Structure 1
């Protein structure tokens, strides 16, 4: 939500999941703590303050959330290999020069290449969308879910999401019962991919891990939920359907988390201003 908390409020039973030929249902960690077949970053946060996504949604967080994309070296690596089967080591960070996407679905990138790099790009960009503050608005949440998930499972998943984003959940993260921010405060929820790793790939499916950091909280004078950062890794199961990569299920784990630096925390007003003035990116090599 931040494909981050949206991101996880505990575990629970959910529908059977399978991105590679199983039931085809989506599995996600829902904000209220239920494991749902969902979503996403990544983006929502447990009492101790860690994010868990879609995300937030399980990923989806799923729930929510840049990214480095697969570069196998040379021209062939830049294009990505098809049908190579399972596992891959972490890709180098050098740019491949291959554009990540050719279009968009609403505000979300769409039309990713049918390659490993395309799958990695899709997972990263979907993590950002699923870990965004827009996931806390019912109408925009449904648009985001439909743009990022497998059409065969997304409608059932939407019902789970509407249940998960309850008035009690909103209050738990400091929002009003309708999901809006209290007067004078700015709600912040962002997932920022740091790198990706393709751990499984075929012509019809892919498994991508997205290492991310996320921001979550309320910025403004008097906030009791200050904006904090978290680190998490989203594992997204993707399916090639309708000429694009879509999420079938996802999960999230904590870390890897670096040592906190010596930077002095900015004021709430500075954080709120930054969120309003700094936009996002389309992620890929």
Structure 2
């Protein structure tokens, strides 16, 4: 990695508008990842080697549609790729992250969507919460290999200063730190019982909301492809890649005021995602 990449908090997620590939491996390569999750619609963070800090933020609700089927009343309409199937979300949690996903193609998609949202959240900037997330979503050996590198990166005073946070990862008084990822849809690239490859298309909001912010909240779009493995009754991440877009054309809408954006972030909660 170049010196410029090491010191630019936006160098790894899309600010250059180039496709980036992250492949954290159990052998010792630092993890990749929300997002932390990060962006001028740029991404956040490199750890060591090939590290991805999934940093992202609010997106759009899943679009839905039906593919009508002809036949008897016994026939069940086939859902389009972005339509919910009706299966209820999981009830379990591990480190505050939804857990207990089914060992099915749908379960792998649900796990991938929730893991991307967790890795792209502002929780990654809190030491205790970050460690809980990493332990919950990654394979044990991958988590162990990458935890120290992630902790070092997220505690880097220079990195935190570049995105407007203090040494403890907190926003200045009067400002609200925003780092949210909201999946729009998922797609199974490959499924084989105890392994799966799932792509998650999502948008992200990242920045500081409030009067006088030098890093106002902006939106960006990414597609993350997670390699998942079934272990100990749940799906875990082995590695993943990330690329920019697809990004829609922006509508002619006035940007929210700093006050309205800060209020929205504090008043609107996130979701547990399921197909």
Please classify the TM superposition score into its range, dividing by the shorter chain length.
0.7 to 0.9
Q: Of 247, 250, 253, which aligns to 2:237?
A: 247
TM-superposed CA distance for 1:164, in Å, is 1.6
Q: Deviations over 1:96-148 (max 9, x none)?
A: 12123231113210000001110010010011111111111111110111111
| Superposition CA RMSD, Å | 3.3
Q: Give the distance between the partners of 2:274 and 2:196, measured in 1 at CA.
A: 16
- In the superposition, the TM-score normalised over structure 2's length comes to 0.79
Q: Deviations over 1:49-85 (max 9, x none)?
A: 4225799xx886435566689x99977x89xxxxxxx
Q: Give the distance between the partners of 1:16 and 1:231, measured in 2 at CA.
A: 20
Is the CA contact (8 Å cut-off) linking 2:33 and 2:52 kept in structure 1? yes
Q: Of 136, 142, 147, which aligns to 2:125?
A: 136
Question: Corresponding residue for 1:103?
Answer: 92
TM-superposed CA distance for 1:154, in Å, is 0.6
Q: Assess, with a 3 A threshold, how the Cα gap between structure 1 residues 262 and 223 changes in structure 2: closer, same or farther.
A: same
Question: Corresponding residue for 2:261?
Answer: 271
Q: Assess, with a 3 A threshold, how the Cα gap between structure 1 residues 212 and 194 changes in structure 2: closer, same or farther.
A: same
Q: Give the distance between the partners of 2:34 and 2:45, measured in 1 at CA.
A: 5
Q: Assess, with a 3 A threshold, how the Cα gap between structure 1 residues 152 and 63 changes in structure 2: closer, same or farther.
A: farther
Is the CA contact (8 Å cut-off) linking 1:59 and 1:130 kept in structure 2? no
Q: How does 1:180-195 map to 2 (within 5 A)?
A: 180-195=170-185
| Structure whose alpha-carbon radius of gyration is higher | 2
- In the superposition, the TM-score normalised over structure 1's length comes to 0.77
Question: Corresponding residue for 2:13?
Answer: 8
Task: Count residues in correspondence.
Answer: 249
Q: Assess, with a 3 A threshold, how the Cα gap between structure 1 residues 268 and 140 changes in structure 2: closer, same or farther.
A: same
Q: Give the distance between the partners of 2:190 and 2:53, measured in 1 at CA.
A: 19
Is the CA contact (8 Å cut-off) linking 1:114 and 1:203 kept in structure 2? yes
Q: Assess, with a 3 A threshold, how the Cα gap between structure 1 residues 184 and 42 changes in structure 2: closer, same or farther.
A: closer
Question: Corresponding residue for 1:30?
Answer: none
The answer to whether structure 1 residue 226 and structure 2 residue 216 are counterparts is: yes
The answer to whether structure 1 residue 168 and structure 2 residue 163 are counterparts is: no
Question: Corresponding residue for 1:200?
Answer: 190
Q: Give the distance between the partners of 2:53 and 2:101, measured in 1 at CA.
A: 19
Q: Deviations over 1:20-45 (max 9, x none)?
A: xxxx447xxxxxxxxx5303335364
- Tell me, what secondary structure is at the counterpart of 2:178? strand
Question: Corresponding residue for 1:39?
Answer: 32
The answer to whether structure 1 residue 216 and structure 2 residue 216 are counterparts is: no
Is the CA contact (8 Å cut-off) linking 2:37 and 2:54 kept in structure 1? no
Q: Give the distance between the partners of 1:113 and 1:244, measured in 2 at CA.
A: 7
- Tell me, what secondary structure is at the counterpart of 1:248? strand
Q: Assess, with a 3 A threshold, how the Cα gap between structure 1 residues 208 and 16 changes in structure 2: closer, same or farther.
A: closer
Question: Corresponding residue for 2:247?
Answer: 257
Question: Corresponding residue for 1:157?
Answer: 146
